[in-house]
Structure 1
Amino acid sequence: MSGYSLSRWRQRWLIAPIIVANVPSTLAQGQFENFFQGWDSIIKDSLEVNCSKELEGYKNNPSAKWPVVDCILDDFSESRKAEGAAAALTFGLAPMVLQNIGPNTSETSLLFMRRPLLALLIAISSPWPRNPDSKVYDKIVKQPTAMNQPEVQSDEWSIWPAENNKPIGMMVLFVEYAMALGAAANVALLSYQLGHWAFFASANNTYDPVLFTYCSLLIHLVGIFSMFLSFREPERTGGTNWFERWLVNEFRPAAQNSPLRLTRRKKEEVWIPLRLLWKPLKFFLTWLLSIAPTLQVLMGTIMLSGSLLTAQVDARDCLFRYIASTIVARALLQYELSCLTRKDDTTESQANSHEKTETGLSTYTLIGKPS
């Protein structure tokens, strides 16, 4: 057995130099092979006829990419170069536009408390999140409770679908995940295409657009962690474990679930290793979330505005694809939050009772101060 293992290790050491020797050509694959449709045939003809020597040098040494770019640009007319500059401007507008219409970290964190999988898909679909909005929580805190509300005030519009309409609920669930998966897949595919089909002056590798895209997911995860440090769901009654509760909540539209109820977390309820750092960590995360989305927009603008080999029509299509995913994410999030933060009319009518709902959630304010 030991002899067999030793022979396998020897084989690996013999193969290793071959792999290392082929790393440059492996890294060179994916760039200067395919381009967006607008200039695909034009650039390929230029590479084949006038820039074959530079392209061969790039395949042997991936760091020698600029001679290839210079050769391609030398073949371009002045009008085509001007179109490339307009495409770079279109790309540069994307981060700011998407941040203005996309969700913020406070909203995705709130949805994560009830439907984490859907919240993560929405976060992936929004490459440039907005800064946290404290008004999301202020509105919930200021919502009148059943104890001080003089009379029942129902919502201005009834939720849809109704709780007893299970077939429509399943249809809504399917449409939600289909739209969320489609939006997330569109962003993932677009980030891959930008890395392999386009060329950016400030991107050193083909995977840089992917890294910039999914930095936003990290920002949302920081917001979720900050949310868990500050709030928690009340204790639940019953024998169901956390996995069963997650399945029930995740695969049920918010309109057919109970409203979300949260309470402020006390220091004693924090995980013991974090208690000493609880307040400093909260302050640090608040500061980090206040600047991270802006830095994400800044770095995204710097990267995308360095586009060199993309036509204006392709840059416009990429921008519209980004916007489409962000609009879908915004619509799904708005629908879910409007149902999660609704008032429970059946609970408000019981002003003097202290009962819990079937899921064990508090029946008063969405976020209440601890007693």
Structure 2
Amino acid sequence: MAIRTVGGLRIKAALLLTILLFVTSSSASITWQFQHFYPQHGDKYEYILHHNCSQEFANYLTGRPQDFQIDWLGGGGQYSVLVQPVVTCLLGNVSEYIKAAASSAQVILGVTPPILATLGASTDELAMLSVVGRRPLLALLISFGNPSVYMERVFDFRQPEKMLQRSRGRYRPYRPDTTFKRWVLAAMQYCIALGAAANVAALSWQLGVGTVCSWWSETVFSLLVWTVLSIPIHMAGTFALRLRMRRIYSDEDKEINIGCRQWLWLLPKRLHGFWKSEWVPAVCQDEIRTISFEEEKIYVAWSWLLSTATIIHILFGSLVLSGLLFIGPRDALLVIFRYVVSVLVCRILVTFELAGMRQRYVPEPEQRTSTEVVQMEDKDVRYRRGTREEEV
């Protein structure tokens, strides 16, 4: 029995070592491209691939770049030694008409990230959903389904409190009157957010294996990288909002300015509170009370970094999408339509949650106690007296 156990452990260790060697080995390359083309001109590419570029495609399928020479004059490199000959052969045998159509598709795709950024939710809105609405999981799903980040002006004075201010004529969402309806509403929100995120993930994967990025041709994850990079930008926006505003409860009013040790001690309680509020739509939550802080140097610097990162992210997305080869204009329009649907659906979810937060929000002046109001009035009176004395 012991021999069998030792033998089984050795087999498992050998399999694990083989997997690690396969993953970490640089001698094998991904060979998932050129298997499925987009339909508008895909049949032409497949015909050329199997009749005019069969040898280059066979070399690509080996997945062993060390066995072939680099076509330096043709633009090949250390990592694109297998992909570049296939791309060069396909482009050399396809007609100029198809090349012109592909060029127009690249132009359309290149302007997609700025368009999505204009239609999508901003970092402040998603941060409001996470910090004030206390629904970070829903905000995470929406940030993945919203791949392009809204551009904010650098060094603008942001007032997140204005997103929670009520005004006459604004939309007021329906508030479910039973627990069952509340759970149904929350489930619908997560299903919609998951659907939008799944659509973006599937679209990024299909573009990765169905096309070739002209400047990053050795990988199929370029679109996924652009999509995933929106998540840390939205998380940075959440941190920035916490420097200006936080949600409080009656038992948390004294827990705003606390030390690190006390913060760690209260962390399980806070996580439990986030877990409870995560599954409750904002319109169904208790009264929302917040506390605001003045701008500090760290907030100004962090906001500048956030705006800069947003611009870099949009430029990176435009660079990736405008460099996609072997896709036609009709295919590009379908891709843009799917991106726009996901972004608009996520925008609707965020707008609904913000409307629910406005409905449950208690403005800050109403949150102050009578002692605080008296102290503020005394300070104002002393300030006016000092000003008058100086004038005299």
With normalisation by structure 2, the TM-score equals 0.73
Q: 1:234 — aligned with what?
A: 248
Return the match for 1:179 from 163, 179, 192. Answer: 192
- Aligned: 1:75 with 2:75: no
Residue 219 (structure 1) aligned with residue 233 (structure 2): yes
The partner residue of 1:198 within 191, 197, 211 is 211
Q: Indicate how the Cα distance of structure 1 residues 155 and 48 shifts in structure 2: closer, same or farther if over 3 A, else same.
A: same
- Residue of structure 2 in register with 1:29 after alignment: 31
Paired residue for 1:248? 276
- Per the TM alignment, residue 157 of structure 1 is displaced from its structure 2 partner at its CA by 6.0
How far apart in 2 are the matches of 1:120 and 1:13? 33
Q: Which amino acid aligns with 2:162?
A: K
The residue type paired with residue 124 of structure 2 is S
4+ long deviations beyond 6 Å: 5-10, 350-353
| % same residue | 28
Provide the rounded CA distance (Å) in 2 between the counterparts of 1:351 and 1:210. Answer: 46
Check whether the contact 2:249–2:289 (CA below 8 A) recurs between aligned residues: no
Cα displacement (A) at 1:155: 5.7
Structure 2: which 5+ runs fail to align? 66-79, 253-265, 371-392
Output the CA distance in 2 between the equivalents of 1:28 and 1:158: 50
Against the structure 1 CA distance between its residues 285 and 55, is the aligned structure 2 distance closer, same or farther, given a 3 Å change threshold?
same
Please tell me whether the aligned partners of residues 130 and 139 of structure 2 are also in contact (alpha carbons under 8 angstroms): yes
Superposition deviation, residue 327 in structure 1: 0.3
* Counterpart Cα distance in 2 of 1:28 and 1:352: 59
Structure (1 or 2) with the larger CA radius of gyration: 2
Distance 2:13 2:224 in 1: 37
Q: Does the 8 A contact of 1:192 with 1:207 survive in 2? A: yes
Deviates more, 1:242-251 or 1:68-77: 242-251
Secondary structure of 1:131 counterpart:
coil
Please, which runs of 5 or more residues in structure 1 have no aligned partner? 144-152, 267-277, 356-371
| Shift in CA distance, 7/252, structure 1 to aligned 2, threshold 3 Å | closer
One-letter amino acid matched to 2:81: S
* Aligned counterpart, 1:270: none
RMSD: 3.6
Q: Which residue of the partner structure matches residue 341 of structure 1?
A: 358
Q: Could you list the per-position Cα deviations for residues 154-207 of structure 1 after superposition, in whole angstroms to 9, with x for gaps in the alignment?
A: 964674323524443333222211111100111111111111111111224211
Change (3 A) 1:55 1:119: same
Counterpart of 2:121 (choices 103, 113, 117) is: 103
Alignment of 1:181-330 (within 5 A): 181-204=194-217, 205-237=219-251, 241-264=269-292, 279-330=296-347
Give the partner amino acid of 1:199.
Answer: V
Instruction: Indicate the residue corresponding to 1:57 in structure 2.
Output: 59
Conservation of the 8 A alpha-carbon contact between 2:37 and 2:211: yes
Q: Distance in 1 between matches of 2:233 and 2:23?
A: 35
CA distance in 2, matches of 1:197, 1:43: 11
> Do the aligned residues in 2 keep the contact of 1:121 with 1:181 (CA within 8 Å)?
yes
Indicate if the aligned counterparts of 1:155 and 1:343 stay in contact, CA closer than 8 A. Answer: no
1:120 to 136, 140, 145: 140
Secondary structure of the structure 2 residue equivalent to 1:233: strand
The aligned residue for residue 102 of structure 2 is 84
Map Cα deviations across residues 303-360 of structure 1 (whole Å, 9 max, x no partner).
211122111111111111110000001111011111112365xx68x969959xxxxx
Structure-1 separation of matches of 2:244 and 2:300: 11
TM-score normalized with structure 1 length = 0.77
Letter in 1 for 2:240: S
Give the secondary-structure state (helix, strand or coil) at the position aligned to 1:89: helix
1:58–1:261 CA distance, 2 compared to 1 (3 A):
same
